[in-house]
Structures are given as structure tokens and as C-alpha cells.
Amino acid sequence: MDWNRVVFTDERFFHMKQVIRRVWKKRGEQYYVSTIKHPVKVHVWGCFSQYGFGKLVLFKHTLNSKFMCTIYKNGLLPSTKKWFGNNASHWKLLEDNDPKHTSKMCKRFKVDNGIQSLAWPSQSPDCNPIENVWSLLKLKINKQPRTSTKNFIRRIKKDDIVPTYGAYCKIDKCHFCKTQLKYLGHIVSKEGIHPDPDKLNAVREYPVPAKLKAVRTFLGLSSYYRRFIKSYATIAEPLIALTRHSDLKSFQWSEACQNSFEALRQRLIEAPIISYPQFDQPFILQLDASDVGLSAILAQKLIDQDGKAREHVIGYASRTLSASERKYSPTERECLAIVYGCNYYRPY
């Protein structure tokens, strides 16, 4: 996917003043009346790509499908024509699943004008980076007094608000032309995502817990990487049960707890690389249910560098069963696993 050819769009509204909320209640009455005073607000639609910011569209009324098509015609297409030329196949549109964007009228307009939309959620590092632009725009607007609606709209339209919104980077904190990087305890590379070995050392070298607090700490450390461990909830069930039923005085470290503790440490040592999802390919959802937990694996068959199709894991998910769920029959637990897996991986 060439993200240099993606156009990010979104809409946001800005209040002229703060929303005022007051609660009225008479003495001796049980119920109260809440009143909210809504100030004047201005809706803003914008778009941008690697090549710059597009035309801002401002309006006061509620946005509907018909006006959304007007924005596409007068705001989106002129901007993309300036960046990519008249051929709409040279770029793709990224917007969220708002009902206005997915309405029949808007879909028909996109088809008629050859606009290609990316599936949502996307594989972008940020699902919609224009949200960050809105936040910076709001911060800059709030620094100036708001005397009137016309003045408020005029300041939003000013060229020096959006194109130069004051974003700076510190060179010693930036990395360029890297094939992989560390991010929030993970190694992100072109092959996929896997745990940072330096962070895993804290889990691998964790001593055998002698107190309940130590068990909870270990579960917190290992649970952070549970997406890399198949059937994590089932493996960790003895430790989870220990925290559920024990107190400080009745702490008992059993053989099952020791086996669970060692199995989790070993699984983290052998943690696989999680591949990136390809939304133009079908997904495979593998489900399983045991006496104590549910497991769901999301995978895809992708073409490797040798040209062969292999199954790549996108993520592991699991949870323990409640006391009432453990009374289900095997068939009911398998059905519960289907519901759990579909709900957990619904964004895909």
C-alpha cells in the first residue's frame, strides 16, 4: 500500500464558546431538571495528503448525505486534481464509517467519479491522522479571543492556521530510513510485530512468586504480550484462579501454578512474529473452547517471498470462562467461542 497516494478526510465542529451545563432542583423535590446551553458551532470539513492541505469547507447546518456529496464535488475533487491530476485512480480516499460516508447517495457519487475508498479500519499507522490536525487547530484557535461568529469563521479560514499549524520534531528523537524500530515494548519491522527482547527479560527472569502481589505483577507483565501467546487464558488459569480465590493469609503455590508460570515464560521466549493484516485478502478465524477458557486465532494465507502461500497469524485472543459458563455443555462452549471470536475481531 502506497500511503503517499492516500487522501485523509474528516469533519469536526468547533464551538464559539464553552458548553454551559446547569442543574436546577427545588428544595424537597426528588427529581431535578438539567439544562444545557449550546453555543454557536461551526462545522469544518478538510482533507490532506502528503502533498499538502486541501480546501476547507465551513458550514453551520447539520451535515447530511446530500451536502456530503457537495463537499466531495467542491472540496475533495478540486484538491485531488491539484495533487494527482484528473485521473481518480491515482489516489485513494480514507474516511471513517460514519453513516453519511457509507450512505447510498455518497457511494453512488464515488462510483460515478471513480473514487476508490480504503476499507475501514485501515492499516495506516494512525487510523486517520487528520484527527491530530484538528486537535492542533483547536489549540491554536483557543489562544485567540472569539468576538463574533464572522470573526471566528474568518480565523478558521486563515491560511496560517492549518498549513502551518506549528508541528516540530526533535532530531535526536527521530529515526529515518530504519528497517525496524522499537515502539511501546514491541519491535515493528517489515516482517511484522514481535515483543521487544529487552522488555521480555523482565518476564523471563521473574522469580517464582512468593506473595499474591507478585503473582498479580507477573500476570500484568505477561498479559501485555498475550496477543503473541496461543490460549493465554487457559495456560494462565491456575494463576488467575489463585488471585481470584486467595487472600494474603491463604496463599498456596501449587504444582499447577508452577507449571503455568513456567509455561508462560517459555511461550514468551518462543513468541512468534505477528503479521500485518491484508484487508484485500480473506481472514481465517480459528476457535476453540476448553473447560476453563475460550481461544480465538485470526490468521490469513499470504504469499511468502518464496512464492508459496502460508498461513500467517494476525493475533491471538483468549479469556477464561465464568463460573456459570463452565457449566455449559461442550457444544454450547464452542458456540460461545464463535460469538467471542467474532466480537473480538469484529473490526477486521
Range(s) within the chain of domains with CATH label 3.10.20.370 = 186-344
Cα 107–Cα 83–Cα 49 angle in degrees, nearest 5: 70
Asked if 231 contacts 214 with a C-beta cutoff of 8 angstroms, the reply is no
Under 8 Å between Cβ of 216 and 239: no
* Whether the predicted model's global pTM rises above the 0.95 cut: no
Pairing outcome for strands 41-49 and 6-15: antiparallel
Tell me the pLDDT tens digit for each residue of 180-199: 888 888 888 888 888 888 88
Look at 170 and 198; give whichever has higher pLDDT: 198
Least confident of 55-59, 114-118, 228-232: 55-59
Label residue 342 by pLDDT band (50, 70, 90).
very high
When mean pLDDT is compared over 77-86, 115-124, 148-157, the highest value belongs to 77-86
**Number of other CB atoms surrounding residue 198 within 10 Å:** 10
Q: In the predicted model, what is the mean pLDDT of residues 234-246?
A: 84
pLDDT computed for residue 29 by the predictor: 61
| Residue whose C-alpha cell reads 508462560 in the numeric block | 264
Mean pLDDT of the chain: 80
Q: Which residue has the higher pLDDT, 141 or 297?
A: 297
Q: Which CATH number is associated with domain 186-344? A: 3.10.20.370
For the chain, give the number of residues: 348
pLDDT of residue 244: 80
pLDDT for 161 equals 45
Contact 185, 196 (CB under 8 A): yes
CB 7 within 8 A of CB 76: yes
Q: Which of 74-83, 153-162, 183-192, 232-241 has the lowest mean pLDDT?
A: 153-162
Q: How many angstroms separate the CA atoms of 144 and 155, rounded?
A: 9
Do the Cβ atoms of 99 and 131 come closer than 8 Å? no
Which of the four pLDDT bands, split at 50, 70 and 90, describes residue 26? low
Residues of the chain with CATH 3.30.420.10: 3-157
Cα Rg of the chain (Å, integer): 26
Closest CA to 116 of 99, 98, 91: 91
Distance from C-alpha of 228 to C-alpha of 203, rounded to nearest angstrom: 14
Is 70 exceeded by the pLDDT of residue 313?
A: yes
CA distance linking residue 285 with residue 297, whole number of Å? 6
**Half-sphere exposure for 157 (CA within 13 Å, toward CB):** 10
Rounded distance between C-alpha atoms, residue 225 and residue 21, angstroms? 43
Query: Who has greater pLDDT, 250 or 316?
Result: 316
CATH level 3 topology of 3-157: Nucleotidyltransferase; domain 5 (3.30.420)
Q: Which helix (H) or strand (E) holds 44?
A: strand 41-49
Supply the pLDDT for residue 324: 92
Band of pLDDT at residue 165, cut at 50, 70 and 90: very low
* Cβ contacts of 321-325, under 8 Å, gap ≥ 24: 321/291, 321/292, 321/293, 321/294
